[in-house]
């Protein structure tokens, strides 16, 4: 029997996307949580497991996987059904590009360690940090809106959830948390809301996690 342990944090977008994928596959896993606000991801015990000091990390039968893009690809290979990527290679590349717009162009610039650095090293005010967050979300979402309008048929790509939705739903959650205006992105928000209504996505929602603030 596979022993699958997800190390995460309830409000981590990267951990959120991995929870979605595991839930879509029906994988049985347990969670260990690390409070990023308290710096738990930099504890010696966790660094011995995941030397980059970030979440998520996924333990499986003695192996440790880090970085959500690699973890998601592994999940899709380990449990092929339902697939997170279309079979056609051109379509799969489009879905990967949608995911990368979030995973490479938005999320890294808006994660907690970057925001903390803006405040501590550059003295950015709350309003300046908010403007920074909104800027990078808007840049990425503008491109995604075009792609989803072109390729979506109810979801980010096509008529079922894919890797793109695993990235999109957590990023929309983050955008709404920071009160970013999403009205310019009707196709994007409709796709995100359709995916978020599915049970695997609902069960992955930050508020449904055992370490969520109550």
Torsional class of 67: left (φ above 0), alpha (ψ -120 to 50), beta (otherwise): left
**Using one digit for the tens of pLDDT, what is the confidence trace for 121-166?**
999 999 999 999 999 999 999 999 999 999 999 999 999 999 999 9
Q: What residue ranges define each of the domains in the chain, with the CATH number in brackets?
A: 4-82 (3.40.30.10), 89-200 (1.20.1050.10)
Average pLDDT over residues 7-16: 97
Provide the angle, in degrees to the nearest 10, between the axes of the packed helices 89-103 and 68-78.
150
Q: What is each CA distance from 24 to 11, 27, 41, 142, 174, in whole angstroms? A: 19, 8, 26, 27, 21
CB-side neighbour CA atoms (13 Å) of 210? 8
Report the alpha-carbon distance of residue 85 to residue 77 in Å, rounded.
10
Please compute the mean of the pLDDT values over residues 155-179 and round it to a whole number: 97
Query: Is the per-residue pLDDT at 1 higher than 60?
Result: no
Closest CA to 56 of 166, 134, 157: 166
Lowest mean pLDDT among 35-39, 56-60, 86-90, 186-190: 35-39
Burial of 37: CB neighbours in 10 Å, binned 0-12, 13-18, 19+: exposed
pLDDT of res. 214: 82
Reported as a pLDDT band with limits 50, 70 and 90, residue 21 is very high
Report pLDDT for 119: 95
Using CA atoms, how far apart are residues 99 and 20, in angstroms rounded to an integer?
A: 14
pLDDT above 70 coverage of the chain, percent:
99
Kindly report whether the global pTM for this prediction surpasses the value 0.75.
yes
Give the pLDDT mean for 107-125: 94
Asked if 192 and 169 touch (Cβ cutoff 8 Å), the reply is: yes
Do residues 171 and 196 touch, judged by C-beta distance below 8 A? no
Residue 183: phi, psi to the nearest 5?
-60, -25
3-state secondary structure of 74: helix
Give yes or no for residue 2 having a pLDDT over 80: no
């Amino acid at each position: 029997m596979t022993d699958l342990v997800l190390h995460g944090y309830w409000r981590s977008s990267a951990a959120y996307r991995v929870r979605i994928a595991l839930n879509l596959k029906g994988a049985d896993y347990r969670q260990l949580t690390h409070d990023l606000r308290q710096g738990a991801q930099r504890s010696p015990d966790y660094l011995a497991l995941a030397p980059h000091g970030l979440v998520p990390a996924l333990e499986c039968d003695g192996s440790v996987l880090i970085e959500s893009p690699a973890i998601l690809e592994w999940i899709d290979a380990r449990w092929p059904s339902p697939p997170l990527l279309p079979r056609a290679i051109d379509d799969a590349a489009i879905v990967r590009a949608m995911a990368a717009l979030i995973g490479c162009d938005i999320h890294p610039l808006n994660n907690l360690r970057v925001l903390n650095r803006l405040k501590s090293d550059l003295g950015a005010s709350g309003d300046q940090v908010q403007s920074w967050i909104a800027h990078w979300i808007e840049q990425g979402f503008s491109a995604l809106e075009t792609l989803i309008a072109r390729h979506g048929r109810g979801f980010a790509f096509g008529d079922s959830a894919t890797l793109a939705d695993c990235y999109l739903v957590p990023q929309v959650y983050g955008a709404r948390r920071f009160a970013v205006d999403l009205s310019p992105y009707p196709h994007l928000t409709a796709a995100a809301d359709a995916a978020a209504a599915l049970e695997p996505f609902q069960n992955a929602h930050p508020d449904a996690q055992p370490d969520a603030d109550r």
